[in-house]
Structure 1
Amino acid sequence: MPSAPQQPDSAQAVLEQSPARPFGTSHKQGAGHFSEWSRATKKEFLIDWQAGRASEWILVQGNEGGDLDSMTSALTWAYHLEHSTENSSQPVKAIALLQTPTDALDLRPENKLALKKSKMTPGHEDLLTMDELPEDPETLSPKLRGIVLVDHAVPLRKWRNARILSIFDHHVDKGAGPNADPRVFEKAASCSSLVARQMLDELEKLDQEYHMPHELLELILRAIAIDSGGLKNDVTTDTDIETAKRVLKRSNWRDSRLKDVMKDLDDELSAAKSHLDHLSVRDLLRRDWKGDLVDTPSPRTPTVSLGFASIPYSLDEQIEKTEFHELFDWFAIHAAWTAAVGVDISVCLNKYKIRDESGKKKKMREIVLVVRDDVRINEDQANSLFRTVKKALEDNKELGLKPWHRANELAPRQMVWTHESGAGRKVIRPIVEEAVMAWD
């Protein structure tokens, strides 16, 4: 077994591993204890659901963006809940739920690579994804023993009837699950650092430690590495560093230096993450999509559906990916996607780099705002909502929004701005949500 991370697979090799599940066929099963546990847990959950025993289960769920941190945190805590209680009088049944469709998992090549390195089954047959959930969350949630939120501060509206047992998040505490235990809100580059720290703290207090598969330990290190830039970026905390040290000591890379391991892991995952040129506009829209229902004070429209996409290409670059290479085609694809997911108002956050007059690369961002009138709101309401959100964004002086160079070609209830503020979804989303919640 190597004492340091293996060389990363080429991006092409990663892409050649198809995620498809043809009818009547099955991929070769993953190797190792971690894959076997995940597959067996998924089978047991589905058997128990069929037998009416959903009340015995805890679902550990990350956010619907489905990045490596969210996925790793969910898998880690589900594994810990089961194994830390297996010899007790009250064993826990827990499973990680990835809140993304199966076919969307590989839209993040870094996830695909990390799962392959962890010897999971190609095609993700040993993972429970949102489209494989056998019952609608609205009806399933009250039947469960409860849910655990990881890398996610508040459950999506469809899980509102579930009991929140624990929360781990490295962002802002929004007050959900006040009685959850553990309830951890702490700044860190990676939520996996918080989950792994709690896991190790509890593991080391057990009379007898359970088996910790090296594949899971390596998955945790990969999640921390990519979120922290190999423990080198400006959001890295002591928690990330100390947790990575503890995990490394238990891994097959224990004889290697932490900084070397984390740099190698960050390099391999970052190389995979940047390989997105093969994705279509629709895939880019759904690759990192987050949304939920938002309450409004309007008695006519008490809720609207709001969605956000984060895309690492400019709108001009995305237009070139369309069949006709035209502006109308991008908005047609966007309309088809938002219709499919039932969204009233959508915000696309694009980021890219350009060269300034001196030849240096400069970071740029775009905001694409679109409001539909065919889901929950009529045309007059849509016009009003569009004006409300547009004004809220333009009035925020810190963003410094400027109309896109083709803004005069946009249709009603469409707007595109450019800005250099560096503000991403964590900044833009609250502005939009507050505007929607105040719209009447």
Structure 2
Amino acid sequence: MMRNSRILQGISVFSYAAFATPLSQPQQAVINGRITPDKQVGVGHFSEWSRATKKEFLIDWQAGREDKWIFVQGNEGGDTDSMTAALTWAYHLGHATQNTSDPLKAIALLQTPTHALDLRPENKKALENSKMTAGHEDLLTIDELPEDPETLSRKLRGIVLVDHAKPLRKWNDAKILSIFDHHKDEGAGKDADPRVFEKTASCTTIVARQMLDELEKLSEEYHMPHELLELILSAIAIDSSGLKEEKSTKADVETSKRVLARSNWREKDLSEVMEGLDNQLNGIRNALDHLGLRDLLRRDWKGDLVDTPSPQTPTISLGFASIPYSFDEQIEKTEFSELFDWFAIHAAWTAEMGVDISVCLNKYKIETEDGTTDITEKKKIREIVLVVRDDVRIDAAQADALFKVAREAIEKAGKDGLLKELKPWHNAPELGVRQMVWTHESDAGRKDIRPLVEEAVMTWD
């Protein structure tokens, strides 16, 4: 009920339809070689540019001209921030250089499969608001690449990383041209330019600010579609909770002002616009009750190969899922509502991904009372689920050792205070071999726990 009321509140506070033209009426279109009479084709310059750029890249690939192209790519989690930052910088690179002696060809690559994009309903809504074609045919996703990344990376002009501090292993052979990130600098692309690491609520803030700074220095500004500007505002609003003071930085606020001034909402109050976007998109973002466990696992999945000192197994595949439900709630989403079924579904997913060690990071809230009043408050709880397989790259003995070092690293973080109130899950004795679940009450998320586990893997022998 609370989720539905928030969505309704968002719609009443701010109706996107008041500012944006809806998608074109259903019409016949050729999509992926198929005639689809009821497909809603995107309208407006932004959709047309994105679709044309995708087509041009595929034409150039077929003709062996991959070296002309720059891939602007975010992280594989594929949230609105990562997607928008990539689209924004790709648009800028192509348009800012179009009248120069070295015009650049750039395209945003979403490192999320097409079938997983709608697992983030806020993405679907933000793209719909920006009048993009239904079904994401305007976008280039990782599963649509006509060549494997390991090979393609060596042919490209280069890559730009947004909302991502270092490339995934499969892109290691690509030249890193620029990096924009709002997390920790991990030392990649030392020669990249621009190379910006700054603590902001949204990485889109950094990219949009750089875009506007460069745009305003041009002798003649290129056309900036209002749909892209409004998508930028949407991404910043989601990550800053509508520019709330405790969630946003000065850069988030100032950049949003500059973007708003160029958008179709320029006559609107910034606070009203950003609060309305936050209510609408974050309300939709939390409407996930219809998703099953497998979809929750793959909805926000990030993983890569990690180096180890073991000559027998020099690399290990490590994967992370972030899920906004408790472990008990996830169990209830399985067919049999039993612990064994959770691990069966999890095993099928990690086998498909070729993962040796996986970590699920769950977060949820519980109601608590202070004991002196009848007022209840929401208390945030997080969980860590650690699982190691022995059937991908390592055998049972190696898996036992790997599980041991990863478990010890997490429990040490509990003793050191990083993972406040770390303790075993209430039904931990029922867990199987190389399975462990903890709860904790800290704010430590993936950006804190992933380095712990990666360092443990890198010391495992």
Shorter-chain TM-score tier: over 0.9
What's 2:136 paired with? 124
Tell me how far 1:234 sits from its aligned partner.
2.2
What's 2:396 paired with? 379
* 1:183-222, Cα deviation, whole Å (9 max, x unpaired): 1111111000000000001101111100000000000000
Contact 1:5-1:253 at 8 Å conserved across structures: no
Contact 1:307-1:343 at 8 Å conserved across structures: yes
Q: Distance in 2 between matches of 1:118 and 1:303?
A: 41
SS at match of 2:278: helix
What's 1:291 paired with? 303
Q: Distance in 2 between matches of 1:123 and 1:342?
A: 28
SS at match of 1:80: helix
Tell me how far 1:426 sits from its aligned partner.
0.9
Contact 2:16-2:129 at 8 Å conserved across structures: no
Q: Which of 342, 348, 368 in structure 2 is aligned with 1:336?
A: 348
SS at match of 1:367: strand
Change (3 A) 1:57 1:23: closer
Contact 1:116-1:122 at 8 Å conserved across structures: yes
Q: Distance in 1 between matches of 2:95 and 2:17?
A: 31
Spell out the pairing of 1:241-280 with structure 2 (5 A cutoff): 241-280=253-292
SS at match of 2:321: strand
Q: Distance in 2 between matches of 1:274 and 1:124?
A: 21
Identity %: 74
The reply on whether 1:62 has 2:74 as its aligned counterpart is yes
What's 1:31 paired with? 43
Tell me how far 1:88 sits from its aligned partner.
1.1
Tell me how far 1:244 sits from its aligned partner.
0.3
What's 1:361 paired with? 378
Change (3 A) 1:259 1:335: same
Tell me how far 1:8 sits from its aligned partner.
7.5
Change (3 A) 1:235 1:360: closer
* 1:353-396, Cα deviation, whole Å (9 max, x unpaired): 11224432211111000000011000000000001100111111
What's 1:107 paired with? 119
What's 2:325 paired with? 313
What's 2:15 paired with? 6
SS at match of 1:143: coil
Change (3 A) 1:22 1:414: farther
| Number of equivalenced pairs | 427
State the AA in 1 paired with 2:315.
Answer: T
The reply on whether 1:405 has 2:426 as its aligned counterpart is yes
What's 2:226 paired with? 214
* 1:389-438, Cα deviation, whole Å (9 max, x unpaired): 00111111221321111111111000001111121111111111111111
State the AA in 1 paired with 2:238.
Answer: I
Q: Distance in 2 between matches of 1:337 and 1:31?
A: 37
Tell me how far 1:22 sits from its aligned partner.
9.4
What's 1:430 paired with? 451
What's 1:98 paired with? 110
State the AA in 1 paired with 2:425.
Answer: W
The reply on whether 1:171 has 2:180 as its aligned counterpart is no
* 1:138-175, Cα deviation, whole Å (9 max, x unpaired): 00001000000000000000000000000000111111
* 1:260-308, Cα deviation, whole Å (9 max, x unpaired): 1111111101111010001110000000001100001111111100000
Tell me how far 1:24 sits from its aligned partner.
3.0
Change (3 A) 1:123 1:7: same
State the AA in 2 paired with 1:154.
Answer: K
What's 1:189 paired with? 201
User: TM-score, normalised on structure 1?
Assistant: 0.95
State the AA in 2 paired with 1:428.
Answer: I
Q: Distance in 2 between matches of 1:120 and 1:7?
A: 15
Change (3 A) 1:139 1:182: same
Which segments of 5 or more consecutive residues in structure 2 lack a partner in the other structure? Answer: 1-12, 19-25, 371-375
Q: Which runs of 4+ in 1 moved over 6 A?
A: none
SS at match of 1:39: helix
Q: Which of 225, 240, 248 in structure 2 is aligned with 1:228?
A: 240
Spell out the pairing of 1:123-162 with structure 2 (5 A cutoff): 123-162=135-174
CA RMSD of aligned residues (A): 1.5
Q: Distance in 2 between matches of 1:409 and 1:208?
A: 67
Contact 2:77-2:299 at 8 Å conserved across structures: yes
SS at match of 2:320: strand
Q: Distance in 2 between matches of 1:126 and 1:354?
A: 41
Q: Distance in 2 between matches of 1:171 and 1:351?
A: 20
State the AA in 2 paired with 1:365.
Answer: R
User: TM-score, normalised on structure 2?
Assistant: 0.91
Contact 1:8-1:268 at 8 Å conserved across structures: no
Q: Which of 75, 81, 88 in structure 2 is aligned with 1:76?
A: 88
Tell me how far 1:235 sits from its aligned partner.
3.5
Q: Distance in 2 between matches of 1:31 and 1:212?
A: 15
SS at match of 1:123: helix
SS at match of 1:225: helix
SS at match of 1:356: strand
Contact 2:237-2:243 at 8 Å conserved across structures: yes
What's 1:390 paired with? 407
Q: Distance in 2 between matches of 1:390 and 1:262?
A: 42
